[in-house]
Amino acid sequence: MEKHRPYRIIISGGGTGGHIYPAIAIANTLKAMNPETEMLFVGAKGRMEMQKVPEAGYNIIGLWISGIQRKLTVNNLSFPFKLISSLLRSGKIIRKFKPDVVIGVGGFASGPLLYRATRKGIPSLIQEQNSFPGITNKLLAKKVDKICVADDRMERFFPKEKIVITGNPVRKDIINAENKREEAQGFFNLKPGKKTVLVIGGSNGARTINHSILSGIETIIQAGVQVIWQTGKFYFEEVNESVKNHDISNFRILEFLKEMDLAYAAADVVISRAGALSISELCLVGKPVIFVPSPNVAEDHQTKNARALVDKSAAMLIKDQEAKTKLVEATLALINDNDRQVSLKENISKLARPDAAEKIATEILKLIN
CATH of the domain at 329: 3.40.50.2000
70 within 8 A of 52, measured Cβ to Cβ: no
Average pLDDT for residues 107-134, to the nearest whole number? 91
Average pLDDT for residues 301-325, to the nearest whole number? 94
Residues 104 and 198 both lie in one domain: no
Range of the domain at 236: 173-349
Residues 224 and 144 both lie in one domain: no
Residues 187 and 59 both lie in one domain: no
pLDDT attached to residue 264? 96
Residues 246 and 309 both lie in one domain: yes
Which one-letter DSSP state was computed for residue 224?
T
Residues 329 and 209 both lie in one domain: yes
Residues 27 and 146 both lie in one domain: yes
pLDDT attached to residue 75? 66
CA distances 327 to 115, 169, 260, 320, Å, are 43, 29, 22, 9
Q: Tell me how far apart the alpha carbons of residues 129 and 234 are, in angstroms, rounded to a whole number.
A: 25
Those residues whose C-beta lies under 8 Å from the C-beta of residue 333, and which sit 6 or more positions away, are none
The helix or strand, by DSSP H or E, that contains position 28, with its residue range, turns out to be helix 17-33
Residue 205 known to bind ligand: no
DSSP 63-110: ES-----SS--HHHHHHHHHHHHHHHHHHHHHHHH--SEEEE-SSTTH
Residue 325 known to bind ligand: no
Give the HSE-up count for residue 32: Cα atoms under 13 Å, Cβ half-sphere: 11
Average pLDDT for residues 140-162, to the nearest whole number? 93
First to last CA, the chain: 6
Residues 140 and 183 both lie in one domain: no
Residue 201 known to bind ligand: no
Residue 123 pLDDT > 90:
yes
Residues 237 and 319 both lie in one domain: yes
Of 256, 270, 360, nearest to 315 (Cα)?
270
Q: Tell me which of 75 and 361 has the higher pLDDT.
A: 361
Residues 120 and 134 both lie in one domain: yes
Instruction: Identify whether 144 is part of a domain.
Output: yes
Residues 198 and 123 both lie in one domain: no
Average pLDDT for residues 15-20, to the nearest whole number? 81
Residues 234 and 337 both lie in one domain: yes
Rounded to an integer, what is the distance from CA 132 to the centroid of its chain? 14
Residue 70 pLDDT > 70:
no
Indicate the residue type of 43: G
Q: State the pLDDT confidence band at 36, using cuts at 50, 70 and 90.
A: very high
User: Kind of pairing, strands 163-165 and 146-149?
Assistant: parallel
Residue 18 known to bind ligand: yes
Residues 295 and 198 both lie in one domain: yes
Instruction: Identify whether 1 is part of a domain.
Output: no
Residues paired with 253 in a beta bridge: 229
pLDDT in tens, 244-268: 999 999 999 999 888 999 999 999 9
Average pLDDT for residues 79-106, to the nearest whole number? 90
Instruction: Identify whether 276 is part of a domain.
Output: yes
Of 361, 302, 304, 13, nearest to 167 (Cα)?
361
pLDDT attached to residue 1? 40
Residue 203 known to bind ligand: yes
Residue 329 pLDDT > 50:
yes
Name the domain count of the chain: 2
pLDDT attached to residue 79? 67
